């Protein structure tokens, strides 16, 4: 099995995750490095381990010019990887590791991947972080979590730097210094053996590249400046180890290719994992929201159906119950009892139904804009009916008994129910039923013509008191009139004697709805009442009368849904408006299916790319492993 990765396999999958621009940058860096004829040796390590001092020493000993960017200090002065040639070797200085700057570590990692050999500097204290980094580079996990980004034997050298600061003076006690260097090498070797049992470990060298920092401030020291420390500073042994690398360029470059593409694969695998986790959470959230909204829609439909059933039941119950009212001699008992029962029970129904709806909207986090209040024109209905009965049905003294007089009054009331209700409506609304229907029809048509994006704000403005005479609203009205449908609505509301505002239209619709409901029930109600009076009078109902009562009772049950529909679904009906508003809010809150599908498709692409890249680790053996 080949030990060299095919870049096309890696880059295609990585581009799915990281984007083609990022992968092109990786490819460009590789092409630039691959075309370099000299062997590239990178020097890396923490920012205070003397990388710059070592590079300067190697350049001076090779007779090369020290570049101006090469400085030597414990400060974080190297920000980018910089290269300098010395014969058939190109040395690369890297930003200090563990500097606290993420960009420094990233630049150093790229330089370590794109190199033929690596000199890793370790501080003389052999701190745990330095040892773990060295182990990761030996194992091949520094650049790729799954491993395999390894260096060939001899291409990774571990250098314990600044040996002259370890505590024993190399000039005054050379033997003690030599023994101390051996102990440091043994300590690092032992630590790596514990971390990597059975693995071949790289050479370890102890150096003092610039004893006491004597040449740190000199731009171009002479080779003789280092002669005093050469016998013990270890740089000669390091140079000898590096000298033989030039002849191995082809082998080293092949290993560098494996490290570079494994580094890219690892970056893509890591990013794919993050994205898959994020997209999975997003898909799960969307699915949970869709299920929650579906449950709420079902609950809303159930609440609506239950409310309608309860309203129909109470209409049947209360209208039938009116038949059994003890009417006595009072002509107003029937009207009063009908109004009392309907008003009392419908208001109770509204309160109960509204509580259920408000609780649902709270859990759905939907704010209701429409109200759920309804009022019967009680006083107008009572006053008008009593007045008409008193004027038109007052009997001559002693001519009729109370029960007979009441029977005639009910008969006349039944025959004139629509006229009475029309007068009731006109007294309360300020216009006839017919005019109200025409006005509401025109108002609804004008509102429907408004642009959806401006309708809500326009209706809110037109509901303000004195909107047509207020100086404060003049500017808003003028702006609103620029829109044709809005201008027509303003002109319609400005006419005398008609609808004056959206709130006025809603009030007219409510009155119309209740009037229609009472009108629908009146003929059956009065027929049943007449039969009830007959019972009260002590008359024995004939079989025909009994059949008639049952028939009328069935008619009430049959007409109840129609009456309820007038109350629930008529123009401006608060319950229907609220149900529609909540249903629309739930629809708008639902995630778009095509967006969810696109997220799932993207997650699948990341999963496929990650699987492809992970598979490459098993199909391409790292250097040094048996196939």
Structural contact between residues 290 and 589, judged by C-beta atoms closer than 8 angstroms: no
- Residue 394: inside a domain, yes or no? no
Question: CB-based burial of residue 96 (10 Å sphere; 0-12 exposed, 13-18 middle, 19+ buried)?
Answer: buried
- Residue 52: inside a domain, yes or no? yes
Residues 544 and 481 in one domain: no
Residues 489 and 507 in one domain: no
Pick from 391, 312, 342, 386: which is nearest to 522 by CA? 342
**Distances in Å between the alpha carbon of 537 and those of 318, 326, 402, 408, 410?**
22, 10, 10, 14, 14
Question: CB-based burial of residue 563 (10 Å sphere; 0-12 exposed, 13-18 middle, 19+ buried)?
Answer: buried
pLDDT digits (tens, 9 = 90+) for 412-455: 444 555 565 566 666 666 788 788 788 888 888 888 888 877 78
Q: Check whether 393 has a pLDDT greater than 70.
A: no
The pLDDT, as a whole number, for residue 372 is 45
Q: Check whether 373 has a pLDDT greater than 80.
A: no
pLDDT digits (tens, 9 = 90+) for 14-25: 999 999 999 999
Residue 356, CB half-sphere, CA atoms under 13 Å: how many? 17
The pLDDT, as a whole number, for residue 332 is 54
Q: Check whether 382 has a pLDDT greater than 50.
A: no
Question: CB-based burial of residue 146 (10 Å sphere; 0-12 exposed, 13-18 middle, 19+ buried)?
Answer: middle
Residues 80 and 131 in one domain: yes
Residues 510 and 490 in one domain: no
Q: What is the mean pLDDT of residues 500-516?
A: 78
Structural contact between residues 463 and 443, judged by C-beta atoms closer than 8 angstroms: no
- Residue 255: inside a domain, yes or no? no
How much is the pTM? 0.61
Residues 453 and 521 in one domain: no
- Residue 272: inside a domain, yes or no? no
Can you give the residue range of the structural domain that contains 415? 285-377+401-431+502-626
The pLDDT, as a whole number, for residue 280 is 95
Residues 240 and 97 in one domain: yes
- Residue 252: inside a domain, yes or no? no
CATH number, residue 84: 3.40.50.300
Residues 217 and 292 in one domain: no
- Tally of structural domains, the chain: 3
Question: CB-based burial of residue 597 (10 Å sphere; 0-12 exposed, 13-18 middle, 19+ buried)?
Answer: exposed
The pLDDT, as a whole number, for residue 455 is 81
Residues 72 and 164 in one domain: yes
CA distance 364 to 435: 40
Q: What is the mean pLDDT of residues 29-35?
A: 90
Residues 424 and 550 in one domain: yes
- Residue 462: inside a domain, yes or no? yes
Q: Check whether 102 has a pLDDT greater than 70.
A: no
Q: Check whether 77 has a pLDDT greater than 90.
A: no
Residues 509 and 486 in one domain: no
Q: Check whether 126 has a pLDDT greater than 60.
A: yes
- Residue 308: inside a domain, yes or no? yes
Residues 55 and 159 in one domain: yes
Q: Check whether 502 has a pLDDT greater than 80.
A: yes
Dihedral sign, Cα of residue 227, residue 231, residue 232, residue 233: positive
Bigger pLDDT: 278 or 310?
A: 278
- Residue 10: inside a domain, yes or no? no
Count helices and strands in the chain by DSSP H and E runs: 20, 6
Structure tokens at 495: 């006419």
Q: Check whether 526 has a pLDDT greater than 60.
A: no
pLDDT band, very low/low/confident/very high, at 538 (cuts 50, 70, 90): very low
The secondary structure of 197-247 as a DSSP string is TTPPPPPEEE--SSGGGTTTT-SS--GGGGTTTTTTSSHHHHHHHHHTTGG
Average pLDDT, the chain: 78
Residues 305 and 451 in one domain: no
Non-local CB neighbours of 591 within 8 Å, separated by 6+ positions: 286, 289, 290
Q: What is the mean pLDDT of residues 353-380?
A: 61
Answer with the one of 221, 244, 267 that is the final residue of a domain: 244
CA distance 54 to 163: 12
């Amino acid at each position: 099995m080949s030990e060299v990765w095919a870049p096309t396999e890696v880059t295609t999958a990585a581009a799915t995750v990281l984007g083609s621009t990022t992968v092109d940058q990786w490819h460009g860096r590789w092409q630039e490095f691959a075309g370099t004829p000299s062997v590239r040796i990178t020097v890396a390590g923490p920012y205070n381990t003397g990388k710059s001092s070592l590079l300067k020493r190697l350049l001076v000993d090779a007779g090369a010019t020290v570049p101006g960017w090469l400085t030597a200090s414990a400060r974080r002065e190297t920000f980018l990887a910089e290269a300098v040639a010395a014969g058939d070797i190109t040395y690369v200085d890297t930003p200090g590791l563990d500097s606290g700057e993420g960009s420094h570590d990233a630049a150093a990692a790229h330089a370590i991947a794109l190199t033929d050999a690596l000199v890793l500097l370790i501080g003389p204290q052999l701190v745990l972080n330095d040892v773990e980094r060295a182990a990761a580079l030996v194992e091949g996990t520094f650049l790729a979590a799954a491993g395999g980004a390894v260096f060939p034997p001899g291409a990774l050298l571990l250098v314990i730097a600044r040996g002259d600061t370890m505590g024993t003076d190399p000039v005054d006690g050379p033997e003690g210094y030599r023994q101390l260097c051996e102990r440091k090498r043994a300590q690092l070797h032992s630590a790596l053996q514990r971390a990597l049992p059975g693995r071949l470990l790289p050479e370890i060298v102890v150096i003092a590249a610039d004893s006491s920092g004597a040449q740190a401030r000199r731009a171009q020291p002479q080779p003789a400046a280092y002669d005093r420390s050469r016998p013990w500073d270890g740089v000669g042994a390091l140079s000898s180890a590096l000298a033989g690398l030039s002849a191995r360029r082809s082998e080293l470059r092949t290993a560098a290719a494996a490290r570079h593409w494994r580094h890219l694969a690892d970056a893509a695998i890591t990013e794919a994992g993050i994205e898959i986790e994020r997209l999975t959470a997003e898909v799960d959230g969307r699915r949970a929201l869709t299920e929650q909204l579906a449950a709420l829609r079902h609950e809303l439909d159930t609440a609506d159906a239950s409310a309608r059933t309860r309203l129909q039941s109470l209409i049947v119950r209360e209208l039938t119950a009116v038949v059994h009212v003890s009417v006595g001699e009072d002509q107003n008992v029937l009207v009063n009892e009908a109004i009392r029962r309907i008003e009392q029970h419908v208001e109770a129904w509204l309160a109960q139904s509204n509580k259920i709806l408000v609780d649902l909207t709270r859990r759905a986090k939907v704010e209701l804009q429409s109200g759920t209040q309804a009022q019967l024109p009680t006083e107008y209905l009572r006053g008008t009916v009593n007045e008409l009965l008193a004027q038109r049905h007052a009997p001559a003294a002693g001519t009729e008994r109370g029960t007979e007089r009441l029977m005639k009054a009910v008969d006349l009331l039944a025959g004139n129910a629509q006229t009475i209700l029309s007068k009731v409506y006109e007294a309360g609304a300020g216009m006839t039923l017919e005019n109200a229907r025409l006005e509401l029809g025109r108002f609804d048509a004008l509102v429907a013509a408004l642009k959806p994006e401006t309708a809500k704000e326009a209706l809110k403005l037109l509901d303000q008191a004195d909107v047509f005479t207020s100086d404060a609203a003049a500017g808003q009205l003028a702006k609103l009139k620029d829109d044709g449908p809005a201008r027509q609505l303003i002109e319609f509301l400005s006419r005398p004697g008609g609808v004056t505002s959206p709130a006025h239209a809603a009030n007219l619709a409510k009155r119309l709805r209740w009037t229609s409901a009472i009108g629908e029930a009146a003929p059956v109600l009065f027929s049943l009442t007449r039969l009830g009076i007959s019972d009260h009078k002590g008359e024995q109902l004939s079989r025909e009368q009994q059949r008639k009562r049952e028939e009328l009772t069935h008619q009430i049950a049959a007409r109840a849904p129609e009456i309820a529909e007038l109350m629930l679904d008529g123009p401006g009906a608060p319950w229907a408006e609220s149900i529609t508003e909540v249903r629309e809010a739930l629809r708008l809150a639902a995630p778009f299916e095509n967006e969810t599908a696109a997220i799932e498709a993207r997650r699948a692409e990341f999963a496929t790319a990650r699987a492809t890249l992970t598979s490459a680790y098993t199909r391409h053996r790292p250097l040094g492993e048996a196939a």
